[in-house]
């Protein structure tokens, strides 16, 4: 209800504010007997960490994860796994001005409207820093999927403003994605995107774009119609990320331009496996995975924090103007890649466990 938990059988609850002493996540329902280490979780957190390159924020955070419970001698015990990440850099700045000023397109006004008060330090709970807990939990979800079903989840930057990368989702590799700080496996596009972002950063402005995610080796049968359709859950997962404005799966919005006879995916076989010749479905039919690759895309708006002077209101409703300073991502997409993957893993691990209970 209160909105800080996600999942049912593999259920996470995140806590923590941008500038509190720490952030964390509790995982309830991780099966017992999984090998997991702080190091494996750290690998994913490092991909999300600030300060990775010139196109991301220079905020300094180690984001060191500590396993506080639920793991003994390197194995999960089936009890809750508590993961904590200390905030190192949280007192570097005076946030008092923001206590009574509403930043445009930030959640300042809406948190006040909802709760009657808010933590104004660095966005408080609304900060994207909250996603660190998701990435940490996602690393464990991912391990389950990989170990039990060889599921592979790959996200990458597909578009930044008008620059569109040319990527074949069937063939793209992790090493290609990680080969540049942009996390765009099309090197030419990556280079253009980087230049654009560096220019935008100089202007004190920001840009958005599209992340695409492909999931391979998904067993057919995952997803829980009618409300927890796999695509519905992925849509919720993605729109629960800061700065997202849209989600589409398979043919997505462009499906509307085709007729049924063009769009239908014809069933056929590859060896003993039932497949479809085309994949307009994006791997999900009737809310259930069909064993084809799942492919979806997420739209991210330009970061709300910009360094141009903006008109706005105080929390008393008086007009004022605001000139932000500090360290912020001019484009969230490169760091959002591991977050998209983590949320995907959380959905799939949950449905993977649910599926164990569906057939008698």
The residues in 107-146 that bind its own copies, with binding defined as CB under 8 A, are 107, 109-111, 113-119, 124-126, 130, 144
Cβ of residue 255: shortest distance to its own copies, in angstroms? 4
- Would you say 3 or 175 has its CB closer to its own copies? 3
Cβ of residue 27: shortest distance to its own copies, in angstroms? 9
Cβ of residue 319: shortest distance to its own copies, in angstroms? 8
SS3 313: strand
Cβ of residue 314: shortest distance to its own copies, in angstroms? 10
61 binds its own copies (CB under 8 A): no
Structure tokens at 225: 């119609």
User: Which residue of 104, 149, 152, 327 would you call a contact of its own copies, by CB under 8 A?
Assistant: 104
Q: Give burial (CB, 10 Å; 0-12/13-18/19+) of 116.
A: exposed
Q: Across the strands, what pairs with 294? A: 215
Residues 6+ apart with CB under 8 A from 116: none
65 binds its own copies (CB under 8 A): no
Cβ of residue 296: shortest distance to its own copies, in angstroms? 9
SS3 121: helix
166 binds its own copies (CB under 8 A): no
Cβ of residue 51: shortest distance to its own copies, in angstroms? 21
Residues 6+ apart with CB under 8 A from 27: 10, 11, 12, 70, 80, 81, 82, 83, 137, 140
42 binds its own copies (CB under 8 A): no
185 binds its own copies (CB under 8 A): no
51 binds its own copies (CB under 8 A): no
User: Which residue of 94, 171, 311, 325 would you call a contact of its own copies, by CB under 8 A?
Assistant: 311
167 binds its own copies (CB under 8 A): no
First to last CA, the chain: 31
306 binds its own copies (CB under 8 A): yes
306-313 contacts at long range (C-beta below 8 A, 24 or more positions apart): 306/204, 306/205, 306/206, 307/204, 307/205, 308/203, 308/204, 308/205, 310/104, 311/104, 312/101, 312/102, 312/103, 312/104, 313/101, 313/102, 313/109
User: Which residue of 17, 61, 63, 212 would you call a contact of its own copies, by CB under 8 A?
Assistant: 17
Q: Segment contacting its own copies (CB under 8 A): 47-55, 166-174, 182-190, 275-283?
A: 275-283
């Amino acid at each position: 209800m209160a909105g800080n938990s996600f999942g049912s059988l593999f259920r996470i609850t995140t806590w923590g504010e941008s500038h509190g002493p720490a952030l964390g996540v509790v995982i309830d329902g991780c099966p017992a007997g999984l090998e997991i280490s702080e190091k494996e979780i750290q690998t994913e957190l490092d991909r999300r960490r600030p300060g990775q390159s010139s196109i991301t924020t220079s905020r300094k955070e180690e984001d060191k994860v500590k396993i506080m419970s639920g793991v003994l001698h390197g194995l999960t015990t089936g009890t809750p796994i508590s993961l904590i990440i200390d905030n190192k850099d949280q007192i570097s700045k005076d946030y008092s001005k923001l206590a009574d000023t509403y930043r445009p397109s930030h959640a300042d006004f809406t948190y006040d409207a909802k709760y009657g008060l808010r933590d104004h330090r660095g966005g408080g709970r609304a900060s994207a820093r909250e996603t660190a807990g998701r990435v940490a939990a996602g690393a464990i979800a991912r391990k389950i999927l990989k170990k039990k079903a060889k599921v592979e989840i790959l996200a990458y930057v597909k578009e930044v403003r008008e620059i569109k990368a040319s990527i074949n989702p069937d063939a793209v590799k992790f090493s290609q994605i990680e080969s540049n700080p942009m996390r765009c496996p099309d090197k030419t596009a990556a280079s253009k995107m980087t230049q654009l972002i560096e220019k935008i950063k100089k202007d004190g402005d920001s840009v958005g774009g599209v992340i695409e995610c492909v999931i391979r080796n998904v067993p057919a049968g995952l997803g829980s119609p009618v409300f927890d359709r796999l695509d519905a859950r992925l849509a919720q997962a993605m729109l629960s990320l800061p700065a997202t404005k849209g989600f589409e799966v398979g043919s997505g919005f462009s499906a509307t331009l085709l007729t049924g006879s063009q769009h239908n995916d014809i069933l056929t076989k590859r060896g003993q496996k039932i497949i479809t010749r085309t994949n307009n479905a994006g791997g999900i039919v009737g809310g259930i995975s069909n064993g084809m690759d799942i492919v979806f895309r997420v739209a991210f708006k330009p970061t709300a924090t910009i360094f141009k002077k903006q008109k706005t209101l105080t929390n008393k409703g008086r007009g004022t103007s605001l000139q932000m300073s500090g360290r912020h991502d001019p484009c969230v997409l490169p760091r959002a890649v591991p977050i998209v993957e983590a949320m995907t893993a959380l959905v799939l691990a949950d449905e993977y466990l649910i599926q164990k209970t569906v057939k008698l």
